Structure 1
Amino acid sequence: MNNLEKIVEQLKQNKVVAYPTEAVFGLGCNPLSESAVQALLTLKNRPKAKGLILIAPDKELLLPYIDETQLTAEHWKIFENIGEQAITWVMPAKQSVPRYLTGQFSSIAVRLCRVPAVVELCQATGFALTSTSCNLTGKAPCRTALEVKAQFGENFPVLEANTGGKTNPSEIRDIFTQHIFRQG
C-alpha cells in the first residue's frame, strides 16, 4: 500500500476517500465530522435520511455509536462471528449519535471488516470509517482503484490496495430479528 499515509492524512483532514472493502471499494470519511459526511452525501447524491454504515476491524471503534444497554452476550457473539459472507448489522444507536449518521432511524448499521486496508486505515486514524459503495449514481460500484479513478477522476484520493475478493457486498441484517434488509 504505497499511498496509505496520504489517505490517512486525507481522512484526518476530514476529506472523503475511497478504500477497498470485502467486495467493492467504499467511500468513507471520519464519521465524527459532519462536514466530511455532508461532502460524502453530496458526492454520492445520497439522501441524508438513509443513514450510513460504519465499519471497523474491532468493536471498540464502533462502541461509541452502539447502545450496548439493549444488547445481550448472545447479540455480541452473533455480531463478532465473521463468516464467509460479510454482514452489516443494524443495531440500536446511542441517543448521542448524530442524525447525519443514523438518518431517519434510531439504529446504526455497523460491520466488522478485517480487510487489511480497513485495518490499517482504522489503526492509523483511531476511528471507524463511514462506508457506502464507491460509485456515482447509476454506475456500478468500483472494484479496483483504476475504476475509482475512472468514475471520480485521477486526483480523487483512493487507497491503492485490493478488496477482500468477495463477489457480493455485505448483507444487511437486524441484530435482534435476523431480518435481512439487503441480501449479500
Structure 2
Amino acid sequence: MLELERVLQALKDGGVIAYPTEAVYGLGCDPDNETAVMALLAIKQRTVDKGLILVAANYSQLLPYVDDKAIPPEKRYQIFSSWPGHISWILPASKAAPKWITGQFNSIAVRVSAHPVVHALCADYGKPLVSTSANLSGCPAITKRDELELHLGNKLSAIMPGSLGGATQPSQIRHAVTGDIIRS
C-alpha cells in the first residue's frame, strides 16, 4: 500500500500524521521523537504537562514505556482482557518513558487498538504511536476527513486513509490502580 509507506516515512522523518481511529481522527507521531511530539502539541495548542496516550498493535510494543511489574496483579485480567479494544488504561510509567509523553505524571495512558488502520500503522512502524484527537485543545474532535483537511491539513506531514470505527465517543480512559473512569 503506497499510502501506508508514505505515512510510515513521515513518521520516520519526525512528522505529525493524522489517522482514523475507533471514533475520531487522531494525531500521531513517534513517541520517542521529542521534536515531533512538541510539533504535535503545538498543532493542538496543548501543554506538555497533561501527558499523551500511546496506541499500539500489541502490549509488547508498550513494554518500554510501562512499568509492567508495578501493575497490580488483581487488575491485570481486567486490563488485558479489554484489549485489543476501545479502552485506554493509565498504567505506571517505566523510568525510560519520556517526560514529553507522561507530562507531569509518573503514569502513562496506553491502549492496544482493534482498529485495523491503527493496528497496521503500529505493526508496520514497529512501535506505538502518540494518539490524541485531531482538534485544537478544548474544541470538538474531528470526525470527517474534509473537516480534518480544512482545519489541520497544512500542518500535517501525512493523512492515513481509512474509515473511522463504529464508536461514537473517544476511548474510555481508566486508571489501572484505582479503577476510576477518567473519561467515559
TM-score, normalization: structure 2? 0.92
What's 2:97 paired with?
97
Q: Distance in 1 between matches of 2:68 and 2:142?
A: 34
Q: Distance in 2 between matches of 1:13 and 1:177?
A: 38
* Count of paired positions: 183
Q: Deviations over 1:8-55 (max 9, x none)?
A: 110111100001111001100000101100110111111110000000
Per-residue deviation at 1:84? 10
Q: How does 1:1-184 map to 2 (within 5 A)?
A: 3-82=3-82, 86-153=86-153, 156=156, 157-183=158-184
Per-residue deviation at 1:72? 4.3
Per-residue deviation at 1:77? 1.9
- Is the 2:26–2:133 Cα contact (8 Å) retained in structure 1? yes
Q: Distance in 1 between matches of 2:147 and 2:80?
A: 31
% same residue: 42
Per-residue deviation at 1:2? 5.8
Gaps of 5+ in 1: none
Per-residue deviation at 1:71? 1.9
Per-residue deviation at 1:138? 4.9
Q: Distance in 2 between matches of 1:84 and 1:34?
A: 27
Per-residue deviation at 1:136? 2.4
Q: Distance in 2 between matches of 1:88 and 1:20?
A: 16
Q: Distance in 2 between matches of 1:138 and 1:74?
A: 35
Q: Distance in 2 between matches of 1:100 and 1:147?
A: 28
- Is the 2:3–2:160 Cα contact (8 Å) retained in structure 1? yes
Range moving further from structure 2, 140-149 or 158-167: 140-149
Q: What is the Cα-based RMSD across aligned positions, in Å?
A: 1.9
Per-residue deviation at 1:177? 1.6
Q: Deviations over 1:147-169 (max 9, x none)?
A: 21011136732111011121011
Per-residue deviation at 1:64? 0.7
Range moving further from structure 2, 13-22 or 69-78: 69-78
- Is the 2:72–2:177 Cα contact (8 Å) retained in structure 1? no
Tell me which amino acid in the other structure corresponds to 1:174. Answer: H
- Is the 2:84–2:114 Cα contact (8 Å) retained in structure 1? no
Q: Distance in 1 between matches of 2:92 and 2:83?
A: 22
Q: Distance in 2 between matches of 1:98 and 1:137?
A: 21
- Is the 2:142–2:148 Cα contact (8 Å) retained in structure 1? yes
- Is the 1:18–1:25 Cα contact (8 Å) retained in structure 2? yes
- Is the 2:66–2:108 Cα contact (8 Å) retained in structure 1? yes
